[in-house]
A and B are shown apart, each in its own frame.
Chain A
Amino acid sequence: AQSVSQHNHHVILSEAASLELGCNYSYGGTVNLFWYVQYPGQHLQLLLKYFSGDPLVKGIKGFEAEFIKSKFSFNLRKPSVQWSDTAEYFCAVTGNSGNTPLVFGKGTRLSVIA
């Protein structure tokens, strides 16, 4: 069965610290990978996505993620976090074969303190 595992439930960082959020997936076949962000009280917004090509993808607000096929991973990174990055982050996967739904991880809550 398809699944996404996010290792960290809650991460607390100081401003300017570097961020890496883990994401591993289990999915047969070619995959599309996504990171969504949900700011407090808001809906999910796309942060970045990987379909094919360069495994290092850059998204909005300075975020990037690297697809490592051999490790079934798609970790999210940011070199220097800001207080405004406080949010919940969801990794998601879908198959590359039509309009299939996303399978989401449980999410990682990021709290950035001044």
Chain B
Amino acid sequence: DAGVIQSPRHEVTEMGQEVTLRCKPISGHNSLFWYRQTMMRGLELLIYFNNNVPIDDSGMPEDRFSAKMPNASFSTLKIQPSEPRDSAVYFCASKPAGTTTTQYFGPGTRLTVL
């Protein structure tokens, strides 16, 4: 089992540029979650999908952020345009169906916006 795969692992970009983060959930998992981790705010849920459908995107900071899940094995989180305050570690997690199952986290993408 390869676990949750995220790419890139590190991204450095300049303010105003578009950034796309990618996530491949564990095969067979039907829920996918995007989190952001910063020193100031800790771990925040941005958005999550069940069966490829966005369920709750209330954590998405603003319109500059968007997420898609075109199929069960792939999701993207896009920031356009990026700003220095978006610098953080972005984690993707996936979970099998059921009420007593566990989320598994990917290694994260460390984003630095200059």
The chain A residues found within 8 Å of chain B, CB to CB, are 32, 34, 36, 42-46, 49, 51-52, 90, 96-99, 101-107
Contacts and interface: CB of A to CB of B under 8 A. Distances in A.
A51 B42 contact: no
Contacts of B98: 99
B42 A43 contact: no
A101 B33 contact: yes
Nearest to A96: B99
Contact of B42 (A96, A101, A106): A106
Contacts, number: 47
B107 A43 contact: yes
B105 A43 contact: yes
Contact of B31 (A46, A99, A104): A99
B97 interface: yes
Query: For the complex, would chain A's binding face be called helix, strand, loop or mixed by DSSP majority?
Result: loop
Given A43-B91, A99-B97, 15 more contacts: A34-B102, A43-B105, A46-B102, A51-B100, A96-B99, A96-B100, A99-B31, A99-B98, A101-B33, A101-B45, A102-B33, A102-B45, A102-B103, A107-B42, A107-B43
Contacts of A51: 99-100
Contacts of A102: 33, 45, 103
A38 to B, nearest CB: 9
B85 to A, nearest CB: 19
B99 A43 contact: no
| A-B residue pairs, 9 tightest by C-beta | A99-B31, A104-B43, A44-B105, A106-B42, A51-B100, A43-B107, A43-B105, A99-B50, A101-B45
A32 B101 CA distance: 9
